[in-house]
Structure 1
Amino acid sequence: MIRKQADSSATPTISYDTVAAGYDGAEVISDVSVDVHAGDVVGLLGPNGVGKSTLLKCAVGLLDPLAGEVTIGDRPVRSFDRDALARNVGYVPQSEPTNFPRTVFQTVLMGRKPHFGARPRTRDRQVVATLLNRLDLADLAMRDVNSLSGGQHQKVILARVLAQEPRALVLDEPTSNLDIRHEVEVLSLLRKEAPDGLAILHAMHDLTLAVRYSDWIVLLGEGGVHTQGPPSELTAKDIRDVYGIDVSIHETNDGIVIAPVDTLENYRG
């Protein structure tokens, strides 16, 4: 399931070069240098408030770095206009409210907006139809997105960003609020897309799923990157240093399992 990281000599699709970022001039995170290459899935880990979402926003133009540079290919993110950036990077935020009824087909077609002017063309509709078939959503094409289950809705959102035909995907907690079956379904879908040349950067809380579905792990601690490398190099000490808890890490036939080490005594008053 986990593949070897892409050739580091190639130009990264997304690159953070000594980036500091925050809000109202106050740094949340600093000195971050991370590369995401075509075909790679990079998992961004760390406790709440450590800066995962802040970094993701810098890659999609929602937040300007306070220092350093984020580039897509060889161009700074700030040099793209909105449509050009959307043709290069697809973004899925933590939550996305639906303000009015819309069918699944119409929702996915919105992902084509950066490619057409006033009206979608035949090719735009063909791209959507192909995606719906590929993601097993064709039977839901005329359904109102508000009537879908959580797993179905998340697949539609992924289909919409894939309809942008971007070079990279940036996803903030793409499996939040999903049950385990749909978590695996969504992550497997992403895993299948990366070999087609997509660079994928995603933030997650579930450590076991993150290491199983990522080629490279970036563990954020207080103020910056605590460690980064292949999932197999993540240690219990790294996790204890960042999260403040002890864990056990086991290699199984199905992959790595990370579990908290705890006793009932901790819960006795």
Structure 2
Amino acid sequence: MSASVPLREPASAGAATGLLRAEAVTVSVDGADLLAAVDFAASPGRVHALIGPNGAGKSTLLGVLAGDRTASSGAVTLDGRPLAGIGLAALARHRAVLTQEHAVTFPFPAREVVEMGRHPWSRTPAADDDEAAIDEAMAQTDVSHLAARTVPSLSGGERARVALARVLAQRTPVLLLDEPTAALDLRHQEDVLRLARERASAGGTVVVVLHDLNLAAAYADDLTLLRGGRVHATGSPAEVLTADAIGEVYGQAVDVLPHPRTGVPLVLPVRDGG
């Protein structure tokens, strides 16, 4: 077992820490490479979106970046320190992870679920901020009115927002979000990505898995397009979201046009009769 590597404790989510880097990461299962020699870097102050078709390796890469999944080879570092050597408690104070599954089967009130995000800070000076962090996170995700409702009584979208509130309440420099908009309506999709943008603008590092290419183009500074467990392209939305690249990776013809107001790429599928 590796010895734990001490990390400087973050003062807040806006602390200038959170450089997350993967080098030649491979994940193999039953002879198949879910990821193959992937290089990746996410920096403080930026939103980095992972995009690609189903099975491309997006969630696998996010799991490796979170330290929740072990790479078969390669290395992941956080602020230059090997992720594999960071103790679990320290890691939980440096990165928060929203997974695709929000499986809370016990009838916990929503506020108690959000409160779980503060556990890494117990018995530290930051515990004094617990109530404020919980209140702020619930307000940001529009679930304050659900505080006393038990999680099983909530809709899928409400559960997703409570899960996001738990992650935001953790107040870590690195935020890792796996398809955070999947169960949400239009307004709340935009709210979630605005929150991600705000975290990055405050100095945080945000990595988000997205299927909606237009959301990725609108809110991300950097995109990594994965295909078959490999990096097909990485760069700005304008560099990555080209008609040729999308057609090749997704097998779907598209038109890519500049948004009439913002100028960011707007991806439109080519449809018969349209």
Structure 1 stretches lacking a partner, 5+ long: 1-9
Task: Say whether 1:99 aligns with 2:118.
Answer: no
Deviation at 1:106, TM superposition (A): 0.8
Residues 1:221 and 2:230 aligned together: no
Aligned length: 255
CA contact (8 A) 2:55 2:228 kept: no
Change (3 A) 1:20 1:130: same
Partner SS for 1:47: coil
Partners of 1:22 and 1:168 in 2: CA distance? 26
- Percent identical among aligned pairs is 39
**CA distance 1:245–1:146, change in 2 (3 Å):** same
- Root-mean-square deviation (CA, aligned residues, Å) is 2.3
Secondary structure of the 1:177 match is coil
Among candidates 225, 243, 255, match of residue 248 of structure 1: 255
How far is the alpha carbon of 1:83 from its aligned partner? 1.7
Please give the TM-score of this superposition, normalised by the length of structure 1: 0.86
C-alpha contact (below 8 Å) 2:56/2:229 kept by paired residues? yes
Give the CA deviation at 1:84: 1.3
- What SS does structure 1 have at the residue aligned with 2:89? helix
* 2:182 aligned residue (155, 165, 176): 176
Please state how far the C-alpha of 1:60 moved relative to its aligned partner.
1.5
Deviations along 1:12-37, one digit per CA (max 9) or x if unpaired, are 62111121123246421212111111
Please say which of residues 248-257 and 35-44 is displaced more in the overlay: 248-257
Measured in 2, the distance between the counterparts of 1:53 and 1:150 equals 20
Cα pair 2:105 2:152 within 8 Å, conserved: no
Given the alignment of the two structures, is residue 64 of structure 1 paired with residue 70 of structure 2, yes or no?
Answer: yes
Shift in Å, 1:259: 1.2
CA contact (8 A) 2:18 2:174 kept: no
Task: Name which of 235, 254, 257 aligns with 2:266.
Answer: 257
Which runs of structure 1 show a deviation greater than 6 angstroms over 4 or more consecutive aligned residues?
Answer: none
Q: 1:229–1:11: structure 2 CA closer, same or farther, 3 Å change rule?
A: farther
> Which amino acid counterpart does residue 173 of structure 2 have in structure 1?
R
Instruction: For residues 208-233 of structure 1, give each alpha carbon's deviation from its aligned partner in whole angstroms, at most 9, with x where no partner exists.
Output: 11111110010112341011110011
Task: Please list every run of 5 or more consecutive structure 2 residues that lacks an aligned counterpart in the other structure.
Answer: 1-15
CA drift of 1:181 comes to 2.3
Which position in structure 1 is the counterpart of 2:243? 236
SS at match of 2:48: strand
Are 1:77 and 2:86 counterparts? no
3-state SS of 2:195 partner = helix
Distance 1:62 1:179 in 2: 29
